[in-house]
A and B are shown apart, each in its own frame.
Chain A
Amino acid sequence: MSAPAKANYGWTREQMAQRVAADIQDGAYVNLGIGIPELVAQYVPAGREVIFQTENGLLGMGPAPMAGKEDPELINAGKKAVTAIAGASYFHHADSFVMIRGGHIDICVLGAMQVSAKGDLANWSTGEPDAIPAVGGAMDLVAGVKKVFVITEHATKSGEPKIVEQCTYPLTGKAVVDRVYTNLAIIDITPEGPVVMELAPGVTFDHVQKRTGTNLSLRTNS
């Protein structure tokens, strides 16, 4: 048996999304960020009804339409064509952000550039002087949604840790992240710091710790 290629170590993006979906309870109202988080919608376990909100004004977002059936006036927050499920509703932006800022959405799943040991999130700007700053709804989501899940590769393409002691990029919110799903592990942000709750198959705690910029602890089975 040959060792798996390094790039394929741990969970794939699809498996990460599947793992997030497994933690979403029946009846939850959920907002998915753009990118990897969008994959989560495909993996809702059978028998659970989960309602996806997209902040541009749709509760009850369904999958992408068949080719040729796209409607430019039925899109998601990533400006991609979507469908509306039976029982969906449309609304204007103030109502949409009443759902988000008023604490009516149960879970949001977001991407990250960095997450700190205290749950600070940086996911909107590199802070570089020539970058065009663009924030969208990220700051509203982390401030208002009941639980904030992050789904991200454990390290950057160049191998820098994304889970760090202190974020160096501009923050999206302070102490807002509840749980991080990476290709290597599932990590809860607790008052005692980040705790590894689950390791991807074949991944050791030491392997995860070496690729993390802050001290982790391992959940002890009680």
Chain B
Amino acid sequence: MIDKRAVSAAAAVADVHDGATIMISGFGEAGSPIELIHALVDCGAKNLTVVSNNTGSGRVGLAALIANRQVAKMICSYPRSANSMVFPELYRKGEIKLELVPQGTLAERIRAGGAGIPAFYTATSVGTVLANGKESRTFGERDYVMEHGLIADFALVKAEKADRHGNLIYNKTARNFGPIMCTAAKVAIVQVKEIVEAGELDPEEIVTPGIFVNRLVIVAKPAQESQLVKEDRSYP
């Protein structure tokens, strides 16, 4: 019988190894799987490459993982935002690497990775410093730059609800990178508020089919990153 439920967040991330590439969903705090990230802080895996749109805020969630010196490199589109201080500080000291990727190129690289596409051409970034050193080609009248698909060892994703097969639905703009990250990771680990019986989710409304999901963790009342930051909390 298929049952993707893990006993805990700690058990779900226990095999994350040093040097792994991890995709982490979220656009700011919306869709950020804060409890799974905290489990990864406890797990202690180091020298990670993290693919995520931002770099977290305050000293919780992704920012806590970075502050705990577990991340060697970030692949992201917008590494600074309100209340982000951990990444900028380490970056200025040269203690963390950054691969800056335009947001749409980041999304498409993840989508391509999940679809088995090793590289593709895009007009985004042509004529800018972000195209430096990349192969380019002209199709028709227009120039394009080649970008590589991205795959990961693990994805940590937040969704709203799952069934035991791993079919997922999301909540509003918290969906953001979740569906494509599930497709591009060897092991997709998803935290949801609720797991229902197979058949309770309308097949017409499922956003991520269960084939892309490996492990499910219930976090009934997920913490809100901005609230933790407001309270000046840190993790651990």
Contacts and interface: CB of A to CB of B under 8 A. Distances in A.
B172 A97 contact: no
Interface stretch (B9-17, B42-50, B75-83, B196-204): B75-83
A92 interface: yes
A79 B31 CA distance: 12
Interface string B79-110: 11110000110011000001011111111101
User: Size range of the interface on A?
Assistant: 35 or more
Contacts of A73: 30-31, 171-174
B29 interface: yes
A180 B225 CA distance: 38
Contacts of B78: 134-136
Contacts of A137: 77, 102-104
Give the size range of B's interface with the partner: 35 or more
Contact of A92 (B87, B100, B176): B176
A93 B176 contact: yes
B56 interface: no
Interface string A183-213: 0000000000000000000000000000000
Contacts of B79: 132-134
A97 B176 contact: no
Interface stretch (A11-19, A150-158, A166-174): A166-174
Contacts of B31: 73
B40 to A, nearest CB: 22
Contacts of B173: 54, 56-58, 73-75, 90
Nearest to B125: A139
Interface stretch (B63-71, B133-141, B177-185, B213-221): B177-185
A56 B176 contact: yes
Q: Which of the listed residues B77, B124, B127 has the most CB atoms from chain A within 10 Å of its own CB?
A: B124
Interface in B15-32: 27-31
A91 interface: yes
Given A132-B80, A139-B102, A94 B180 contact: yes
Interface of A: 54-58, 71-75, 79, 84, 90-94, 96-97, 100-101, 120, 130, 132-140, 143-144, 170-174
22 contacts: A55-B103, A56-B30, A56-B176, A79-B81, A92-B107, A92-B176, A92-B178, A93-B27, A93-B110, A94-B110, A94-B179, A97-B108, A101-B122, A120-B127, A132-B80, A134-B77, A138-B102, A139-B125, A143-B126, A144-B123, A171-B129, A172-B128
